[in-house]
């Protein structure tokens, strides 16, 4: 696409998919926009109108209708020029004026502001979506072009826009089915927020290409060969995944680049649906399928219309590759998502049977959001909905239940009925008893066991994934355990105030409650006790100058709040919890309480002994670096590497408590390093820095369920 897009260029892009376009109206909009923005310039020094034109060009890639293209050309006129709503209506009609006005209102929303205001603005965003989804399509294209040209902005503005893009616009694009846009938005934001990590991945890619040649071409040729052999007509495309996508998988799987498998993706486009399954059979006969990595979204489409067969196989040289198989119509929806409803092909609105009706899609997305009781719950609902990817599971009667990826039996129980969730005491998946924090996979059958008198536990908040389950659990905890939460919240607040040498008064707490939008001091204490708020939040409201630096560091022996007087505690050696992680205590006679992370597999041994579970929190404030965590790391056996790794850990203000070699080979060392840390953020910073080092092959946090306290 040329740097400067002329009106002829733009008309050409539209005519490629819509020869019957209203060329005169697009020319009129181009001329009007150029006139209105005359004399305005971007941060880069370019004429401002180059931006609306670039946004319109992006939307032509999705073959959108004339009204959307013209809206893109005019989307900043009402906001930034002397143009008015009535003038746009007179010149271009009511439909386009409404769309331009909708984009203008979205531009004025501060989506990265404070939580309460952010929640209210999200409501407005979803209201705009419910009126006409094309408003969001223009806004997403607007954000994409701004991110492509972000380097001309001030550094602080770059960071703000990148965070907003990563948190809101990228997941929204993904939720709407425009995965290509989500990938690019995330990667552009990643290059601003963590350029060193991105550069590290790019260097690894270059190194990999030097070692193994053009893997994409080799595997693409392999797939084409077996398609020809089995006489299947299909197009085959290959690509390397975006650096941020690779980075996210490294973080999720806690694996180094060298151990990460599916960094390449391949797409097979067939002529019809039966051929999709023929291609699948051909590929599985040629290469070994990776267990648990097969998804059939053709028979079970996503809510945004996405249909595709996805499988991962061990391809050439044992490298894992992900393959997507779909028809051209399915591909159009996969590329455009909900926007496929407005797509044109050969001058007529594309009658794609897989395109989702935008009105129904928005209705399905927002109906679950309307029930959210307060700002925090609404925000949680929205973010979970935008990030979710679906898993399909079954009731004992064979009914399908749709849940987001990562959902647990608790989410399943609450999806059926709040009463089932509240009284849940256990679950079976495919006939086998499993802990409540087990992640449900596609196609599994789930049975929920209930008991009269059972009520939700506080630890369920961290086990549940869906907004519906979390809201129901909080609602029950608030009503049934309110007094307990108030008591715990009062104690947490007292300790936090003592830590900054301030006296707790009703006046101070009343002021904090008012500023935080809460109805009473009891409500404030209840929120703190239920872990929805932190006592440190109260300090931040009343004494902002003291909240950042509270003086003395908290020693590990005083790190836990919620123990009974005289009760002792130890950190579990199996999971080595650190401040910032959600925790639970298990009480022992003569040993006090052993602290575990909420996801520690050892907790399954105590599933039927809930009387021994103790609700605990980390002390609010700055902790000292006295919490030991074990890292398992593989490094190159070269001169100076080990010394550099140890120096790097020291530079990050962490102490090496112990170092053991597990294996020594001519080309690498495998070792365990015990590091004393402050909190989970400190741990993340150290792991990120080590992972980015070119001589670190693998690195993970070592946890051993067999370790005893």
Ranking 36-50, 73-87, 207-221, 412-426 by mean pLDDT, the lowest is 207-221
Q: Determine the average pLDDT of the residues in 90-115.
A: 77
- Euclidean distance between CA atoms 610 and 572, whole angstroms: 18
pLDDT of residue 183: 87
Q: Determine the average pLDDT of the residues in 541-550.
A: 63
How many of the other CB atoms lie within 10 Å of CB of 28?
15
Arithmetic mean of pLDDT over the chain: 81
- Euclidean distance between CA atoms 588 and 630, whole angstroms: 25
Binning pLDDT at 50, 70 and 90, where does residue 290 land? Answer: confident
How many of the other CB atoms lie within 10 Å of CB of 563?
16
pLDDT of residue 430: 85
pLDDT of residue 550: 47
CB 44 within 8 A of CB 4: no
pLDDT of residue 258: 47
- Euclidean distance between CA atoms 423 and 615, whole angstroms: 20
Q: Determine the average pLDDT of the residues in 473-501.
A: 78
Q: For 580-614, write each residue's pLDDT tens digit.
A: 888 999 998 877 899 999 888 888 888 778 778 88
Tokens of 332: 């159009």
What element of type H or E holds 480? helix 467-480
Of 576, 591, 583, 586, nearest in space to 627 by CA: 576
Phi and psi angles of residue 696, each rounded to the nearest 5 degrees, phi first: -100, 115
pLDDT of residue 259: 47
pLDDT of residue 518: 85
Assess whether pLDDT exceeds 90 at residue 275.
Answer: yes
Of 339, 302, 333, nearest in space to 135 by CA: 339
**Which residues are catalytically annotated?**
79-80
Neighbouring C-alpha atoms within 13 Å toward the C-beta of 123: 15
To the nearest whole percent, how much of the chain has pLDDT over 70?
Answer: 83
Ranking 309-318, 323-332, 383-392, 596-605 by mean pLDDT, the lowest is 383-392
pLDDT of residue 89: 93
Handedness of CA 646, 650, 651, 654 (dihedral sign): positive
Instruction: Say which residue, 403 or 675, is predicted with more confidence.
Output: 675
pLDDT of residue 552: 59
Ranking 34-38, 597-601, 673-677 by mean pLDDT, the lowest is 597-601
- Euclidean distance between CA atoms 48 and 34, whole angstroms: 9
- Euclidean distance between CA atoms 656 and 193, whole angstroms: 29
Binning pLDDT at 50, 70 and 90, where does residue 12 land? Answer: very high
Q: Between vectors from CA 410 to CA 404 and to CA 415, what angle results, nearest 5°?
A: 60
Assess whether pLDDT exceeds 80 at residue 205.
Answer: no
Phi and psi angles of residue 635, each rounded to the nearest 5 degrees, phi first: -125, 160
pLDDT of residue 389: 57
Residues paired with 660 in a beta bridge: 672
Phi and psi angles of residue 553, each rounded to the nearest 5 degrees, phi first: -75, 155
Q: Are strands 592-597 and 569-571 parallel, antiparallel or unpaired?
A: parallel
Assess whether pLDDT exceeds 50 at residue 555.
Answer: yes
Binning pLDDT at 50, 70 and 90, where does residue 408 land? Answer: very high
Q: Determine the average pLDDT of the residues in 6-25.
A: 90
The three-class DSSP label of residue 400 is strand
Q: Determine the average pLDDT of the residues in 548-554.
A: 58
Tokens of 418: 């709040």
Residues paired with 246 in a beta bridge: none
How many distinct helices (H) and strands (E) make up the chain?
30, 23
pLDDT of residue 681: 85
Instruction: Say which residue, 167 or 128, is predicted with more confidence.
Output: 167
Binning pLDDT at 50, 70 and 90, where does residue 3 land? Answer: low
Q: Determine the average pLDDT of the residues in 267-286.
A: 92
Ranking 55-69, 151-165, 253-267 by mean pLDDT, the lowest is 253-267
Assess whether pLDDT exceeds 70 at residue 579.
Answer: yes
Binning pLDDT at 50, 70 and 90, where does residue 70 land? Answer: very high
Assess whether pLDDT exceeds 50 at residue 175.
Answer: yes
Assess whether pLDDT exceeds 60 at residue 358.
Answer: no
Instruction: Say which residue, 108 or 75, is predicted with more confidence.
Output: 75
Burial class (CB within 10 angstroms; exposed 0-12, middle 13-18, buried 19+) of 279:
buried
The three-class DSSP label of residue 412 is helix
Binning pLDDT at 50, 70 and 90, where does residue 372 land? Answer: very low
pLDDT of residue 403: 81
Tokens of 381: 């609902």
Q: For 383-392, write each residue's pLDDT tens digit.
A: 555 545 567 7
Per-residue burial over 500-518, b if 16 or more Cβ lie within 10 Å, else e, is: beeeeeeebbeebbeebeb
Binning pLDDT at 50, 70 and 90, where does residue 204 land? Answer: confident
Q: For 229-264, write each residue's pLDDT tens digit.
A: 999 999 998 887 788 877 776 665 545 554 445 577
Q: Determine the average pLDDT of the residues in 173-188.
A: 84
Assess whether pLDDT exceeds 90 at residue 629.
Answer: yes
Q: Are strands 264-270 and 320-327 parallel, antiparallel or unpaired?
A: parallel
Burial class (CB within 10 angstroms; exposed 0-12, middle 13-18, buried 19+) of 240:
middle
Ranking 39-53, 179-193, 353-367 by mean pLDDT, the lowest is 353-367
pLDDT of residue 2: 44
What element of type H or E holds 547? helix 544-547
Full-prediction pTM beyond 0.75?
A: no
Assess whether pLDDT exceeds 50 at residue 152.
Answer: yes
Residues paired with 450 in a beta bridge: 424
- Euclidean distance between CA atoms 542 and 311, whole angstroms: 54
DSSP code of residue 347: T
Q: Which domains does the chain have, with CATH numbers?
A: 7-193 (1.10.3210.10), 196-349 (3.30.460.10), 388-479 (3.10.20.30), 481-573+587-617 (no CATH)
Instruction: Say which residue, 467 or 525, is predicted with more confidence.
Output: 525
CB 70 within 8 A of CB 95: no
**Which range has the top average pLDDT, 47-56, 430-439, 473-482?**
47-56
How many of the other CB atoms lie within 10 Å of CB of 495?
17
In the numeric block, the tokens 């509270």 are attached to: 550
- Euclidean distance between CA atoms 220 and 237, whole angstroms: 7
DSSP code of residue 168: I
What element of type H or E holds 296? strand 295-296
Instruction: Say which residue, 384 or 312, is predicted with more confidence.
Output: 312
Longest dimension (CA), the chain: 85
- Euclidean distance between CA atoms 152 and 354, whole angstroms: 40
Residues paired with 404 in a beta bridge: 390
Of 632, 674, 633, 634, nearest in space to 654 by CA: 674
């Amino acid at each position: 696409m040329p740097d400067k897009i002329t009106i002829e260029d733009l008309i050409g892009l539209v005519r490629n998919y819509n020869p019957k376009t209203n060329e005169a109206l697009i020319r009129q909009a181009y001329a009007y926009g150029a006139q209105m923005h005359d004399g305005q310039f971007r941060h880069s020094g370019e004429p401002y109108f180059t931006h609306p034109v670039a946004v319109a060009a992006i939307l032509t890639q999705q073959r959108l209708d004339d009204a959307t293209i013209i809206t893109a050309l005019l989307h900043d006129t009402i906001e930034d020029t002397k143009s008015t709503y009535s003038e746009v209506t007179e010149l271009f009609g009511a439909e386009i004026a409404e769309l331009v006005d909708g984009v203008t209102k979205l531009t004025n929303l501060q989506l990265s502001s404070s939580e309460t205001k952010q929640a209210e603005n999200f409501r407005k965003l979803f209201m705009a979506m419910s009126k006409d989804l094309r408003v969001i399509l223009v806004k997403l294209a607007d954000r994409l072009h701004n991110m492509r040209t972000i380097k001309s902005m001030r550094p602080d503005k770059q960071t703000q826009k990148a965070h907003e893009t990563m948190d809101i616009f990228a997941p929204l694009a993904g939720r709407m089915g425009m995965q290509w846009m989500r990938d690019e938005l995330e990667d552009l934001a990643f290059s601003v927020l963590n350029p060193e990590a991105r550069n590290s991945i790019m260097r690894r890619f270059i190194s990999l290409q030097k070692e193994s040649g053009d893997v994409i071409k080799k595997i693409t040729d392999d797939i084409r060969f077996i398609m020809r052999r089995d006489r299947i007509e299909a197009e085959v495309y290959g690509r390397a995944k975006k650096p941020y996508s690779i980075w996210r998988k490294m973080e999720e799987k806690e694996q180094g680049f060298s151990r990460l498998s599916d960094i390449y993706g391949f797409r097979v486009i067939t002529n019809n649906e039966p051929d999709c399954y023929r291609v699948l059979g051909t590929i599985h006969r040629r290469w070994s399928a990776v267990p648990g990595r097969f998804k059939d979204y053709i028979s079970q489409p996503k809510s945004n219309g996405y249909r595709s067969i996805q499988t991962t196989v061990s391809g050439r040289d044992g490298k894992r590759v992900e393959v997507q198989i779909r028809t051209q119509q399915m591909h159009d929806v996969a590329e455009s998502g909900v926007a496929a409803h407005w797509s044109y092909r050969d001058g007529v609105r594309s009658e794609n049977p897989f395109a989702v009706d935008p009105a129904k899609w928005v209705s399905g997305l927002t109906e679950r959001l309307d029930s959210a009781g307060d700002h925090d719950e609404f925000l949680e609902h929205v973010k979970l909905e935008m990030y979710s990817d679906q898993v399909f599971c079954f009731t004992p009667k064979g009914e399908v239940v749709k849940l987001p990826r990562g959902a647990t039996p608790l989410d399943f129980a609450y999806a059926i009925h709040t009463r089932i969730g509240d009284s849940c005491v256990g679950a079976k998946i495919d006939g086998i008893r499993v802990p409540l924090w087990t992640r449900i996979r596609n196609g599994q059958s789930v049975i929920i066991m209930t008991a009269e008198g059972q009520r939700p536990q506080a630890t369920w908040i961290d086990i549940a994934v869906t907004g519906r389950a979390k809201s129901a659990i909080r609602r029950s905890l608030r009503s049934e355990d309110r007094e307990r939460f108030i008591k715990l919240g009062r104690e947490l607040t007292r300790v936090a105030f003592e830590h900054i040498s301030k006296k707790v008064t009703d006046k101070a707490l009343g002021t904090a409650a008012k500023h935080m939008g809460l109805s009473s001091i009891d409500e404030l204490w209840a929120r703190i006790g239920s872990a929805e708020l932190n006592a440190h939040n109260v300090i931040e409201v009343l004494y902002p100058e003291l909240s950042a630096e509270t003086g003395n560091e908290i020693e590990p022996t005083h790190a836990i709040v919620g123990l009974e007087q005289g009760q002792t505690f130890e950190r579990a050696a199996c999971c080595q919890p650190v401040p910032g992680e959600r925790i639970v205590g298990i009480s022992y006679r003569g040993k006090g309480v052993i602290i575990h992370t909420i996801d520690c597999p050892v907790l399954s041994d105590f599933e039927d002994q809930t009387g021994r579970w103790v609700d605990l929190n980390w002390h609010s404030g700055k902790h000292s670096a006295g919490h030991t965590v074990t890292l398992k790391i593989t490094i190159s056996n070269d001169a100076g590497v080990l010394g550099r790794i140890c120096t790097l850990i020291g530079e990050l203000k962490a102490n090496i408590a112990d170092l053991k070699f597990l294996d020594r080979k001519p080309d690498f060392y495998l070792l365990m390093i015990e590091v004393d840390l402050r909190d989970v953020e400190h741990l993340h910073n150290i792991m990120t820095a080590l992972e980015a080092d070119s001589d670190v092959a693998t690195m993970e946090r070592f946890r051993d369920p067999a370790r005893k306290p």
